[in-house]
Amino acid sequence: MASHRLGQTRRLGEQASVAHRNRRRHPKITQRGRAPKATLDRRTRSSSVGETLARGCGAPAPTPARHDNPVHAGRATGRPPPRRSCSLSCPLPPPTYRRSITDRHTAYSRHVPSTAPYDEIADWYEHEFLTRSRGLSRHPLGIDSALRDLLGAGKGPCLEIGCGTGEWAAMVRGLGWTPIGVDLSAGMLSHARGRLPIAQADAVHLPVTSSAVAAAITVMVHTDMPRYPDVLREVTRVLRPGGSLVHVGVHPCFCGGFADRSDTAAVMIGPGYLDGNWTTESWTNQGVRDKVGAAHWPLPDLMHAFLDAGLMIERLFEGGAPVPTVLAIRARKQ
C-alpha cells in the first residue's frame, strides 16, 4: 500500500499496457418509468443531520425542520412536487416546491431505475462476501486505511453514495462525520438500516440539496455505475464549496475483466484495459463482477471524469499487495 501524488498516476497508467479488444457491449441501466420513488428510511437515528432525517421521515417534529436535512430537502428542489406524500414510506406531506437558478439543472424527472442488480445478491454480499474481511485488524484491500488517510477526521454530513449494506458507516462515524447513505438497491439497504440514515435513490439523481454536504464517499462502487462521470457531477452539485469526495474503487490498471488475479503476486493483464467496456468476465466466481457485471474506465478516463466534474484531485492511495487492488482518490470541490 502506498500513497501517491498526482504525478505518479501516469506511470500507473503506463504499467497497464494492453491493446486488445473486449467486444462486450455496455448494458444500459434502464430508467424505465416509475413515478419518482426515492425512499427515505423511517428508522434512522443519528445526531444532527441524522436526527433531522429521522424527524422528517416518521418521528413527530416541527414541519419546518424537515428541510434542514440535505437528503430530504433535496427532494424539494428542481422538479414538480410529488402528488401524495413525499415518498412511499414517508408520511409527511409533500415538501414545498422550491426551484432556484442553481438547481435548475437538476429539474429532470428523478426515476429510480426499476431494477437493482444487487437486490439478488444482497444477502450473499452481507453474510458471505463482507464477512471475509470483517474482524481482520486491517482490511486486505486497504479500504479502511484509504478512508482514514483520505477522508480523515471531520464533522458534518458525509454522504456515502452506493452505501450498500452500510459496511463503512461505523468507521465514518468513528472519524467524527455523520454518515448518510444512498443506494439503488432495496435489498442492500435492508441490511443498512440501523447502521446509518438511508435513502433509496439513483446516484445520478441524488435526493440531496445543492451544496449541502461537507464530504462524500464512494466505496467500491464506481464499477457498478456505468454513468460514473455523471455521478461525479452530481457529487459536485451536492458538495459544499471546499468539500471533498473520497473515492475508493477497484484499481483501473490491475483489476477488471482483463486482469487475471488468480496468482496475486503475478497479475496477468489481458485484453480489454483500453476498451472500457462493461463485462461479467472475471478470474473468480467468488466475487461480485461475475454476478452483477462491472464497468471499467482506463486510468486517464477515470481521472478526467473527476476533473471534468470540477473536482480537483488532491491525494491518491493504493491498497492491496503485492499488486494493488484498490485505487483511492481524494478530490475537492473548488
Residues forming the site for ligand SAM (CB under 6 A) = 116, 118, 162-164, 167-168, 183-185, 188, 202-203, 219-221, 224-225, 288
The Cα 50–Cα 93 span in angstroms is 20
Judged by beta carbon, residue 55 or residue 212, the one nearer ligand SAM is: 212
CB of 112 to ligand SAM, least distance (A): 8
- Please give the single-letter amino acid code of residue 207: P
| DSSP-derived pairing of the beta strands 198-200 and 311-319 | unpaired
CB of 16 to ligand SAM, least distance (A): 22
CB of 167 to ligand SAM, least distance (A): 4
CB of 178 to ligand SAM, least distance (A): 17
CB of 212 to ligand SAM, least distance (A): 18
Judged by beta carbon, residue 55 or residue 184, the one nearer ligand SAM is: 184
How many helices (H) and strands (E) the chain has is answered by 10, 11
Q: Residues 34-72, buried b or exposed e (16+ Cβ, 10 A)?
A: eebbbbbbbebebeebbbbbbbbbbeebeeeebbbbbbb
Q: Which residue number places its CB atom closest to ligand SAM?
A: 164
CB of 67 to ligand SAM, least distance (A): 23
Cell of 154: 471531520
Judged by beta carbon, residue 212 or residue 326, the one nearer ligand SAM is: 326
Judged by beta carbon, residue 38 or residue 51, the one nearer ligand SAM is: 38
Judged by beta carbon, residue 94 or residue 230, the one nearer ligand SAM is: 230
Residues 6+ apart with CB under 8 A from 211: 102, 237, 238, 239, 240, 241
The Cα 305–Cα 202 span in angstroms is 18
Judged by beta carbon, residue 195 or residue 333, the one nearer ligand SAM is: 195
The percent helix, strand, coil of the chain (3-state, each to 5) is 30, 20, 50
CB of 163 to ligand SAM, least distance (A): 6
| Phi, psi of 57, deg, nearest 5 | -125, 40
Judged by beta carbon, residue 55 or residue 199, the one nearer ligand SAM is: 199
Triad 22, 26, 28: Cα angle to 5° = 175
